[in-house]
Amino acid sequence: MPPRSLSPGEWNIQCDSCESVEKVYHLRSRNGRPVELEDTQMLFRADEIDFDENTGDVQARGHVYYRNFDKNEQIWADHLEYNTEDEKGKFYDVRGETQPKIITRPGVLTTNTPYHFEGKWAERIGERYILYDGWITNCKIPKPWWRMRGPKFIIVPGDHVTAYRSVFVLRTVPVLFAPFFYHSLQKEPRKSGFLMPTIQPGGTRGFAVGLGYFWAINRSYDLTYRILDYTTRGYAHHLDFSGKPRQGTDYDAIVYGVQDRGDTSNPPQKYSGLSLSLIGKTDLGGGWTGRVSINYITSFRFRQNWTQSFNEAIGSEIHSVGFVNKNWSTYTVDVVFARLENFQQAEVPVTPPGSTTSHYVADAVTIRKLPEVEFGSRDRQIWDRVPLWFSFDSAAGLLYRQQPVFEGNTLVDNFQTSEIMNRSNLVPKVSTAFHWGDFSVVPSFEMHETYYSEAQVPYLDRYHTTGTNLVRSARDFSMDLIFPSLARVFNKKTRFGDKLKHVIEPRVTYRNVSGVGSDFNRFIRFDETDLLSNTNELALSLTNRIYAKRGDSVEEIFTWELMQKRYFDPTFGGALIAGQRNVVASAADLTGYAYLVGPRSTSPVVSLLRASPIGGLGIQWQADYDPRRHGIVDSSFSMDYRWKKYFVSVGHNEVHTDPALTTAADQMRFKTGFGDPNHRGWNAAGEIIYDYRKAVVQYTTEQVTYNTDCCGISVQFHRFNIGLRDENQFRVAFSVANISTTLGNLKKQDRLF
């Protein structure tokens, strides 16, 4: 820190032998003590200093030390020549330090070690240092893990570092030659330039090398383009365009495409394609906001063969939605544009009659809303002092649905509505509440008035659409009976908390929907609105909760909810079709697993358990017990635990219900590891997904990372075994602390930690 007693322009001189003539000072060391020259901005320390206060020239020799208080810079040199007025100078046999810009983004290795540089000589011109025949690093000295060595560096503290014809050296091994290298030291670095090259070892797609370029178009827009050349398959392109044109508005668009020359089969199978992802938001003013999330792929075969994500490879739904919204008082209005593509299976090869050439047809359900306007109000009290509330939902839109119909690999039909089918829906609701002591009764009544400009009618063993004016008028009455909660407090201190409280909450809900009847199967399915059917049912639920008091806070550490429905109308007004999968609103709001293949008077017993008894541990288990099958038919279990740097995650999903409902499945997932992106030393993690019924490991990833004080080396093994895709991949990455760009083909989003 500079001395507080000095005024601007005043110098503090310390020396054993000092001579001065007309403000020209000659400072010399005696008894081994260095001399010093200091003002409010800088400090010079050396064995000998000559200072001309008239011109600001400083010459220092022997064990020279220079410190800039404003920039927090330190330089050591054999001798220097410096002008304090122009802030220009030369340092010989130089080494120095400047404070780093610390990046704290997720997945980026960080360090507070200063940037260190050494060279034959350097010069300072204003804010800029030019280092000649030297090297830089942000590792601890004297044995740095990495160095960037070159004939010339330009260093602007707090702004950027530029290297020319430099060589990246790992320990003593040259790794990379860079004709030009730029690294920003700003808080928000944005500078056009080439990115680190990508090198990928040989695999099923061959050896690959990639290059990239970042274009900072202006302060509001930037674009990143990467190309990866697979020697045996083709080119993969990645384009990322993001912008923030004004306050409250931003977006990010990613385009990924592959030019596939084909695999090794005969004839070669090509999986070229394109995927698009766009997310954005904007504040339109006046309370209006806009959101968009677009996802599009040219073919499911392309995504299954080229995606690096297991969830994408098995995910069958592609959602795109954009909407404009405004909320005021109790009202809300949305203008929605949406597209859903649900793949029933991978593309089916179809051979037209009279042809020997097959082409692939997507077996997918496509639903569009272009647009749909939704207007509604949440509950609002009609009259003061009268327990009566009114709410409503309404929607009107131009909808479209298309689905090919296959018999084996034969395309036999194409179910399709008109491009602008109209559907309008109005649902007013009135509700009230009565209380008797600790008992509460909450009845409500709704009217569902829905207009369809088209309907579906049976044709042979499938359906066709027909133009009509179909109106669904349904009446919906429900009543909730809320019983008093049973509670008990345990004052004994346990490992779960200072006190525990057990609460039991029973609840009964009666619901009667009429007016739909057998017309249910005439309504074309677009969303949950079309799942409403007749029902006369009673829903029973029992919830157990355990609360723990820990100090001054109370947390819910255990929840177990049991639910079941009793159906007094087993056919749901004739909506059920025996022998096939049926989905109605009364079943969908109970569990995510379908269970209706014919009339039934009771639903499965749905059990939902959530627990977090200790810090870092989370457990969730949903299971459906079917009394008809005398066992659990659907189960989804997950457990996650983290302690210090250790973490483990376990999951199990099992379905073994009626084959008419869905294909049986039994999959297990296990993930464990130690470390995080900033843990020094060894880090390791692994994940495996195993299909028990097929006795095959569908996906596995193992990663080992070693982080030093300034850099990290990661190696990852990656395996897919899904359908026709059976391949192994090795990924490597070398990352430098405080630099978000890595060298290699292991991206931050693909890492396990």
Q: Which residues contact 699 (CB under 8 A, 6 or more apart)?
A: 310, 687, 688, 689, 719, 720, 721, 722
How many CB atoms are located within 10 Å of the residue 260 CB? 21
Q: Which residues contact 117 (CB under 8 A, 6 or more apart)?
A: 94, 95, 96, 97, 98, 131, 134, 135, 136, 137, 153, 155
Q: Which amino acid does the sequence have at 585? A: A
Q: Nearest CA to 271 among 347, 384, 325?
A: 347
Provide the pLDDT confidence category of residue 384 given band limits of 50, 70 and 90: confident
CA dist., res. 645 & res. 639, Å (int): 17
First to last CA, the chain: 40
> Coil, helix or strand for 313?
helix
CA dist., res. 117 & res. 121, Å (int): 11
| Residue 350 reports pLDDT greater than 70 | no
CA dist., res. 73 & res. 42, Å (int): 10
Residue that the structure tokens 């192994």 belong to: 728
Among 113-117, 255-259, 426-430, whose mean pLDDT is lowest? 113-117
pLDDT of residue 241: 95
Q: Which DSSP category does 664 fall into?
A: -
- Higher-confidence residue of 108 and 502: namely 502
**Dihedral, CA of residue 610, residue 611, residue 617 and residue 623, to nearest 10:** -40
CA dist., res. 588 & res. 591, Å (int): 6
Q: Is the dihedral of CA 518, 521, 524, 529 positive or negative?
A: positive
pLDDT of residue 312: 84
User: What values do phi and psi take at 659, rounded to 5?
Assistant: -60, -25
pLDDT of residue 344: 80
Write out pLDDT tens, residues 716-734. Answer: 998 888 877 888 888 888 8
pLDDT of residue 734: 83
Q: Which DSSP category does 197 fall into?
A: P
CA dist., res. 717 & res. 731, Å (int): 6
Global pTM reads 0.82
- Cα separations in angstroms, 640 against 100, 272, 436, 495: 36, 38, 43, 19
Fold of the 12-184 domain: lipopolysaccharide transport protein A fold (2.60.450)
pLDDT of residue 94: 95
Among 95-109, 130-144, 242-256, 733-747, whose mean pLDDT is lowest? 95-109
CA dist., res. 427 & res. 419, Å (int): 26
DSSP string, 570-636: TTTTTT--TTS-B--HHHHTT-SS--BSS--SBPPEEEEEEE--STTEEEEEEEEEETTTTEEEEEE
| Residue 453 reports pLDDT greater than 90 | yes
CA Rg value for the chain: 35
For residues 123-143, one letter each, b for 16 or more C-beta atoms within 10 angstroms of the residue's C-beta and e for the rest, the string is bbeeebbbbeebbbbbbeeee
| Residue 358 reports pLDDT greater than 70 | no
Q: Find the helix or strand (DSSP H, E) in which 300 lies.
A: helix 300-306
Among 307-311, 430-434, 665-669, whose mean pLDDT is lowest? 307-311
CA dist., res. 494 & res. 548, Å (int): 10
Among 422-431, 456-465, 637-646, whose mean pLDDT is lowest? 456-465
- Higher-confidence residue of 123 and 29: namely 123
pLDDT of residue 187: 58
- Span 436-443, mean pLDDT? 94
CA dist., res. 134 & res. 513, Å (int): 82
Q: Nearest CA to 46 among 25, 26, 62?
A: 62
Write out pLDDT tens, residues 532-580. Answer: 999 999 999 999 999 999 988 999 999 999 999 999 999 999 999 888 8
8 A C-beta contact, residue 80 and residue 92: yes
As beta bridge partners, residue 38 has: 12, 43
Q: Find the helix or strand (DSSP H, E) in which 269 lies.
A: none
Longest dimension (CA), the chain: 114
Write out pLDDT tens, residues 311-346. Answer: 888 888 899 999 999 999 999 999 999 999 998 876
Please calculate the CA angle 477-504-567 and round it to the nearest 5 degrees: 35
- Span 388-416, mean pLDDT? 90
DSSP string, 544-574: EEEEEEETTEEEEEEEEEEEEEEESSTTTTT
pLDDT of residue 33: 86
The pair of three-digit structure tokens given for residue 35, joined into one six-digit string: 């001399």
8 A C-beta contact, residue 52 and residue 46: no
**Chain-centre distance of CA 661, in angstroms?**
32
Q: Nearest CA to 725 among 274, 316, 349, 263?
A: 263
Among 229-233, 355-359, 495-499, whose mean pLDDT is lowest? 355-359
Write out pLDDT tens, residues 34-48. Answer: 999 998 889 999 999
- Cα separations in angstroms, 531 against 423, 524, 582, 618: 14, 10, 10, 34
| Residue 514 reports pLDDT greater than 90 | yes
Domain chopping of the chain, boundaries: 12-184, 485-663
- Look at phi and psi of residue 412 and say left if phi exceeds 0, alpha if psi is from -120 to 50, else beta: alpha
Provide the pLDDT confidence category of residue 206 given band limits of 50, 70 and 90: confident
Share of the chain above pLDDT 90, in %: 59
Q: Which residues contact 457 (CB under 8 A, 6 or more apart)?
A: 463, 464, 465, 466, 522
Write out pLDDT tens, residues 56-111. Answer: 999 999 999 999 888 788 999 999 999 998 889 999 999 988 776 655 555 567 77
- Higher-confidence residue of 608 and 301: namely 608
| Residue 188 reports pLDDT greater than 70 | no
| Residue 3 reports pLDDT greater than 70 | no
Q: Which residues contact 392 (CB under 8 A, 6 or more apart)?
A: 376, 377, 426, 427, 428, 429
8 A C-beta contact, residue 651 and residue 638: yes
8 A C-beta contact, residue 106 and residue 131: no
Write out pLDDT tens, residues 704-716. Answer: 999 988 888 889 9
Write out pLDDT tens, residues 256-271. Answer: 999 998 887 777 888 8
8 A C-beta contact, residue 87 and residue 66: no
- Span 658-683, mean pLDDT? 90
8 A C-beta contact, residue 685 and residue 753: yes
Q: Which residues contact 647 (CB under 8 A, 6 or more apart)?
A: 640, 641, 671, 672, 673, 674, 685, 753
Provide the pLDDT confidence category of residue 232 given band limits of 50, 70 and 90: confident
8 A C-beta contact, residue 739 and residue 711: no
Arithmetic mean of pLDDT over the chain: 89
